Each structure stands twice: as C-alpha cells, then as structure tokens.
A and B are shown apart, each in its own frame.
Chain A
Amino acid sequence: MNIFDGQSYFSFDALSLFFLFVIFVISLPSAVYSFGYLKGEYSSAKIKLSWVLLALFILSMALVVTVSDALIFLVAWEIMSLVSYFLVVFDTTQEKSVQAGTIYIVMTHIGTAFLIAGFLLMHKYAHGFGFAAIKNASALMPAAVRNITFLLLLIGFGTKAGIVPLHIWLPYAHPQAPSHISSIMSGVMIKTAIYGIIRFVIYILGVDSFWWAALILILAVISCLVGVIYALMEHDLKRLLAYHSVENIGIILLGVGLAMLFLAAQMPFLAVFSLIAGLYHLVNHAIFKGLLFLCAGSVYKATHTRDIEKLGGLIKKMPQTSVYFLFGAMAISALPPLNGFVSEWLTLQAFFLGAFSFSGGAKLLLGICAAMLALTSGLAAACFVKAFGITFLAQPRSRHAEEAKEVPLSMKAGMFFLSALTVIFGLASVPIVKLLSKVSGAATGISVSGMRFSLNNFILSPQIAKSNCLSAFWLGAILIALGTTGFIVYYSLRRKRPVIYQTWDCGYYKINARNEYTATAFSKPFRIAFSFFLLPYRKTQKIRESFYHVKSFAYETHTTPVFKKYIYDPVLALVFKSAKSMRRIQPGSIHLYLAYIFATVLLLIIFMHKF
C-alpha cells in the first residue's frame, strides 16, 4: 500500500474535525503548563525527551481521528498506545510507574487484539480497509457477523475508554504519568475510543438492533455508578480524578447509547439530539477533567504529595490554583451555570423525550437510567465537596501543605485557559449545540437542516418539546444579580467589621488540624451505604508498651477491590498456571527444538498439499 498513490487516506468530515478540536484545545494549555511543571522535577535531558513524546502523542491522536482507512487507523492507534505507555512510565525511578505501565500496556493490547479481530471480520466482506468500502459492505454482512463485529469493537474500544469492567488500568496508569500527560490522557486519549465507537458502530456499521443500544446503556450506567463510588473512596487526588473519568465516560456513553437506541427506532431528531448531548459532555469532560488534572499537578508540585489526608489549607497558600480547581469541581458536579450542567441537562432531556416517544416498559427503563444518572451527579457533587474541601480548605494537615507555594505563571496560564472554557462552554451553549448538531448529523448520516434546538441565541429548547427550556446564560445572570444584591445589602447596612476569632472548640482546648474532619470520615456514610458493593473491612491493632499498658491503636480501613479480586486475579492466576505447564515443552534441549521445527514444517507441507 502506498500512501502517496493519489488515493486519500485521510478524511476531514465534521466528526473528525470535532475530535481534532478537542485534542488541540486540551493539548495546548497542557503543553504550556508543562513548561513550569517539568522544571526542577526532572533533568534537562528528560525534559527534552518529554517534549518529543508529547509531540508524538498529540500527533498520533490527531492521526487516529483523521485517517479513513482501518489499517492506518490501527497503526496510529498502536503508536498512540505505545507513546502513552512511555509517558506513563516516565518516572522510571518509581516502581509504581513501571507496574502501572505494565497493567496499561497489557490491557491496551488486549483491546487492540479485539479491534484487529473486528477489522479483519469487516475486511472479509469489504475486501478492503477503506472506511467507504467497509461502510458500503456493512449492509451485506449477515446479522450474526454484524453482532460479533459490534461486540469485538465494543470490547476493543471499551478497554481504551475505561468502561467497567475493563476500567482496571485507568486508575493505575493515569495518576502515574506527569500531570500534564494525565490531563491529556484523561481528557482526550480515552475519548478517541468514543470516536472509534461513533465512527465504526454508528457511522460505518449503522445501528439496526435494539440490544446494541441497550447493552451500551447498561454498561454506561454501571460505569457511572462504579466510577463515582470508587472515586468517593479514593484519597489519592489523581486516582480520584481517574475514577471520575470512568464515571464521565459512562455519562458520555449514555448519550451515545441513546443515540443508537433512537437510530434503531428510526427517530432521527432524538438520535441527533442524544448524540449532541453525548458529544457536548465529551468536550466538557475534556475541559474540566483536563483542568482538574492540571490543578492536581500544581498541588503535587507544591506539596509533593497526592494524599488529600495530608493536605488542607491550600486556599491561602495557593489562592489561584484553588479558584481554578473550584471551577473544575463545580463544572464536573454539574452546577449551573458552568458547562457540565448544560450537558447533563441535555442528557437527562434526551432520556425524558425518549420516554415520551416510546411506550410501555421502555419508558420505565429510561426513567430508571435517568434516575441513576441523577444519583451519579449527586454522588459526584459529594465527592468534589470532599476533594475541594479536604485539599484546599481548613488548616494544613502536614508540613508539606504548610510550606506550599503558588505555582509559576506558565502553569497558572494553562489552568486559567481551561477555567475560562468551563464558563464559556456553559454560557454559550446555544451556538455550541448548533455546531454540534452538524457533527451529530455527519456521524449519523441524518440531515439536520430542518432541526431546531433553541428558541433564540440564549435559550436551549428541543424542537419537539418547546416548553423544556434551559438558558444557562440567563440563570447565571440571575444568580449573579441576586448574589450581588445580597452582598450589597450585607455591606451597605453593616455597622462594624466582623471579629476574627478561633473556631469554636467546645471550651476544651485550642483546636488544630488534627481535629478536622478527614476524607475517610467524610466518605464514611457512603462506605456504609454502599457496603454491599465495596465490602469494607478494617484492621485494628493494639500497640503495647507492656502486657498491661496499651500505648496506642493502629486502625486501618479498606474496601475490597471487587473487580480486581474476583475477575482479574483469577484470570491472571490461570494465565500464570498455564504458562507454567507450557514450560514443560521448553526444556532447553536444542535437539527437541529441531524436532519441533521439523514437525511444524511437515505439518505445513501437509496442510498446503491438502487444502
């Protein structure tokens, strides 16, 4: 195959351009941020290496979303995986990084293997790897082959996206990379898998059976809940964010799955609307998750710890970083008027409108899915009250946090850019939805020229239910106006300044940081309420000075990693066991190996002769 033979292997349709935009809009601030972040942390040779890897990483992702040939797609996909592997193990001195990298590269290659199988199956019918050829051939495929192809692609892309139960690598790999890379990996790289699902399942294969959509919706709901519940239990700031990526991929897939459902049901408007919701949440997640990872990196740079139990009080030491983190936390908790609010509203609306169009039990299922999404957003808000409150508020819990300094300008610039985007993507929702409708139309092959998604330039409202309105802009304006009025009332009638005094200590003693509520304590109600899934257990140990005198207690509380313990560990044990038994045929004798080769050649000759 010759790339330069005149035939174009690239396509720049609306879907590709949208993903290119997402890639570059997150990569730019991350790259600027890395100037300040890498300085002083690594040697200058390593910093140069990181630039090369970063450039390769961005280019490989750009390649993934623009090629129009499945074979080149696989090559680009593989380059992306390998480069990101090298970035995960960038801190080679840390054993954790190497371990995380190993988990990552194994999982990502399992995913790629499924993709290759899926592509070869499609090639069998298309006799070519070009997207156009496969798209034309997809109608000729028998239903069983289509179903198998769908499942292979779902597992392949699902591994990269981090759908539960294939999410296992994500909380290891994302936190170990340098923070600007975490931000690109969580913000953008896992979205290339969503691109894959939209491109290959919706655009190329075309959805005609309901169970595809149902499967994706169920997996999405599980991903949402599992992601956010694990995030609530997590006290490593970057791992917490990584688990939220699992949750948000679930929310994005809710939009995509709904779009597939409506495509199968031949409801063009709703299909376009749901895909808009999914894509809107995709770009929003890229923005606020990128922002939050950059903020977490700043906290790490300033304190050299990621354990939020050792942080606290950073709002006074790092005032700007804390404001940026607050923007990210509000956006991811879907609070008005920021961007996450608009896309979650759109997703919920897609559920409601869909329920109105379907009949019978489907309505109830959509309702329960919507309720689970609401539960997810409630839990996410709780998790970010914890993440922001314990990390930035109250008094510092360790010397690291006490000595924290605000980060340099280049890092602040990166964070400022993304915080501004969380506001812009919230307030300017109508023009963005209009743009996304073109992307959505291109992906589903539906003409969107007659569809209306808004009443005017400020108010979102789907054409088929005109009274369901949302204007993040006006809500924001009213919120600010009322809050400011309260502020004016407060200060204009004030007689004297407030007295500054210590926090109420019940009259016992001067309280310090050890009296503060911890992240473990904060998440305790959730640990108990979800104990059927988390299976928490505790270890207590008495540390004795002598038999009679207990000096202190050691108390630990843990949750059982269900997926690792009951799925991955048994599989891994099986692999190692079979590898051990395979060793018997590899005893090291050269004569035996020659006999193997001879036997293989003989078999091949017989095979060629017979078939």
Chain B
Amino acid sequence: MKILLICLQLLLFIAIAPFLSGLITKIKNNIRMRKGQSILQPYYNLGKLFFKEEVVSRTASWIFRAAPFVVLGSVLTAALMIPVFIFSSPLHKAGDFLALVFILALGRFFLALAALDTGSSFGGMGASREMFISSLVEPALCLVVFSLSLQYGSTDLSLPGANYGLSVSSLAAAVTLFLIALAETSRIPVDNQETHLELTMVHEAMVLEYSGRSLAFMELAAQIKQMVMFFLIAQVVFPAAWPGLGNLWQFIIWILWYPARIIIIAGLVAFVEVSVAKMRLFRVADFLGFAFVLGIISVICAILGV
C-alpha cells in the first residue's frame, strides 16, 4: 500500500508539474491580452528535448553529467516528503520540514556546480547569484518552519492537515512562503524564467549549457520544485483535510477544493509576475529581508497564539 502511494505521488508530481508551468504562462498571457502558447506547451517542450541530440561541453566533467540525476532525485525526494493524498506524507518518518529544506539544498548545490563546470562565465554568474539568493532564503524559510513548529508542536509536515486551524501566524507564514517560492522558482521580481538575458541570469544561466535529454531533466526538476513549493504553501495556509468517503457532499467539495488551492496559488504567481518589475539583484536582499521580517512576525503571532 505504501509503495503504491509513493509511486502514485511520484507519478502525480511528474505528470502535473509541467501543466502548472503551462497554466501560469497561460494566465499571464490572458492578463496581457495575448493569445499565447497552448497550456500543454511545457509537455511538448519536454518531449522535444527528450529525443533531441545532446551537446556537452569539452570542458565539462562528470559533475555536469551527473547533476541532472542528482537535481531530479532531490526534488522528487522532496515531493515525496509532502503530504498529498491523505494527512501524512509517505516519507514523514524519514524527514520533516527541516529535512526537506536540506534536500532542496542538495539539488541546488549540484546545479550550481554543474553551472561552473563548463567554464562559461554565464554559468558562473548564475551559480553565484543562485547561491546568494538561496542563502538569504534559508533564514526566512527556517522561521516559517519555526513558526509552524510552535503552532503544531512539531516540525512534521503532516500536522497542519490534521489539526487544521487558520490563524494570523499561519497566514503570515504562508505569505513568507509565497515570497520564498517566488525566489526559489525563479519568478519575477527575483528572476525571470522567460529569458536568459544578463539582467535576469540566475536559473536560466545555470542551465544554459544543457541541451537535449539533460535539459529536459533539469526543466522537469524545476517544474516539480515549483509544484513542491505550491503544495507547501497550500499545506500551511489551507490544508484540505481528507473527509473520508462517508459523506458524499463533503467528498465532492474536497475533490474540487483540493486542486483549486494549487490553481489559486498559480494564479497569484502569474498575477505578481505581470504586475511587478524585475528587481535589481541587490534589491533582492531587501525583498528577502522583508520575507525574513514577515517570518519573525509569524513567529511572534505564533507565540501570542493568534
């Protein structure tokens, strides 16, 4: 049963993650009054890349070739640590919220190393910026975990689902997580997924040397990471508790509400992306400083019990 659940959750993340990316692009295009690409375009891209010829730099070592597997492995492990179908995640005994933060750091570490491996200055720039941003993300993320652990008495990710209660502190935690998600999924105002021009060279600059199947792995990993972040926010602020099959009406609400939460978050991300401008890299420190302060507010609210 558990193995089945793990496989199901893995397949869900792999299958839905590109759709979420396409959805965000579609919403953005609609707000901008454009027709835009199909919502399924990320699938076509992945399919095309998967069977395309691959070019590897002469300078690159085994780190460059191994990185896609490590990055994909780490985000998939992170995906398994999130409670999706019922209260508890399949791996809640293997690691809590804190462990998830470290697991994501593993993928990022190898991604940055792979970027440095080809000797291109674009890769180096991307790696430097990515590590800069992520090191500022960590304290804010730690405060979110801290605030949740104060509320639920545990760092276990499953608990918000079981003891559901909307509070000021979980709202503040969710907003903090949302800002972190913008930074972690390379969205405007921190980064821009649509281009790899110098101004926005973070994630796209790191994967610049990748092509073909390796690039498909890297893109899929980025999409899954995005979905992981969205599920985390949903879990913190409006966990959808499993109603059981007994009450049909509640079950129908659950079935509708469950994906709706994720779509709402995706819509918010799209709205932020079209309505604000990209920040200068050093303003990102202020942006994440704001996330840090929000995290502190969330902790204070948790202490006060509101």
A interacts with B: yes
In the complex, A490→B69 CA distance in Å? 9
Q: Does B57 contact A (CB under 8 A)?
A: yes
Q: Does A522 contact B (CB under 8 A)?
A: yes
- With A379-B135, A482-B72, A517-B128 known, 14 other A-B pairs at CB within 8 A are A336-B95, A348-B142, A367-B150, A381-B108, A381-B131, A381-B135, A385-B113, A388-B113, A465-B155, A483-B69, A486-B68, A495-B51, A513-B119, A517-B127
In the complex, A390→B128 CA distance in Å? 11
Tell me which of A79-87, A256-264, A355-363, A442-450 binds B.
Answer: A355-363
CB B195 to nearest CB in A, in angstroms, measures 15
In the complex, A501→B72 CA distance in Å? 25
A521 surroundings in chain B (CB, below 8 A): 124-125, 128
Contact among B150, B209, B300 with A356 in the assembled complex (CB-CB below 8 Å): B150
Q: Does B61 contact A (CB under 8 A)?
A: yes
CB A536 to nearest CB in B, in angstroms, measures 13
Once the chains bind, are B70 and A389 in contact (CB under 8 Å)?
no
In the complex, A423→B112 CA distance in Å? 22
Once the chains bind, are A515 and B209 in contact (CB under 8 Å)?
no
Known A393-B116, A521-B128: A371·B134 in contact at CB below 8 Å = no
Closest 9 CB pairs of A and B: A517-B124, A378-B135, A483-B73, A389-B116, A374-B142, A394-B119, A382-B131, A378-B138, A467-B156
Tell me which of B35-43, B74-82, B233-241, B256-264 binds A.
Answer: B74-82
In the complex, A82→B129 CA distance in Å? 44
B contacts, CB < 8 Å to A: 50-51, 53-63, 68-70, 72-74, 76-77, 80, 91-96, 98-99, 101-103, 105-106, 108-109, 112-113, 116-125, 127-129, 131-132, 134-143, 145-147, 149-150, 153-156, 158-159, 208-209, 212-214, 217, 281-282, 285, 292, 295-296, 299-300, 303
User: Would you give 5 A-B contacts (Cβ < 8 Å), ordered by A?
Assistant: A345-B98, A363-B303, A483-B72, A503-B59, A503-B60
In the complex, A156→B138 CA distance in Å? 34
Once the chains bind, are A503 and B57 in contact (CB under 8 Å)?
yes
B299 surroundings in chain A (CB, below 8 A): 363-364, 367
B72 surroundings in chain A (CB, below 8 A): 482-483, 486
Once the chains bind, are B61 and A471 in contact (CB under 8 Å)?
no
CB-nearest residue of chain A relative to B52? A495
CB A335 to nearest CB in B, in angstroms, measures 5
Known A465-B154, A478-B94: A511·B143 in contact at CB below 8 Å = no
Q: Does A265 contact B (CB under 8 A)?
A: no
A330 surroundings in chain B (CB, below 8 A): 106, 109
Q: Does A502 contact B (CB under 8 A)?
A: yes
Once the chains bind, are A468 and B156 in contact (CB under 8 Å)?
yes
B58 surroundings in chain A (CB, below 8 A): 500-503
Known A468-B154, A498-B56: A315·B63 in contact at CB below 8 Å = yes
Q: Does A4 contact B (CB under 8 A)?
A: no
A348 surroundings in chain B (CB, below 8 A): 98, 142
CB B111 to nearest CB in A, in angstroms, measures 10
Contact among B108, B132, B141, B156 with A374 in the assembled complex (CB-CB below 8 Å): B141
Q: Find the residue from A385, A459, A480 having the highest chain B CB count within 10 A.
A: A385
In the complex, A502→B119 CA distance in Å? 10
CB A461 to nearest CB in B, in angstroms, measures 8
B142 surroundings in chain A (CB, below 8 A): 348, 370-371, 373-375
Once the chains bind, are A516 and B56 in contact (CB under 8 Å)?
no
Once the chains bind, are A382 and B135 in contact (CB under 8 Å)?
yes
Once the chains bind, are A363 and B150 in contact (CB under 8 Å)?
yes
Q: Mask for A567-589, Cβ within 8 A of B = 1, else 0?
A: 00000000000000000000000
A382 surroundings in chain B (CB, below 8 A): 131-132, 134-135
Once the chains bind, are B156 and A503 in contact (CB under 8 Å)?
no
Once the chains bind, are B74 and A500 in contact (CB under 8 Å)?
no
Once the chains bind, are B61 and A360 in contact (CB under 8 Å)?
no
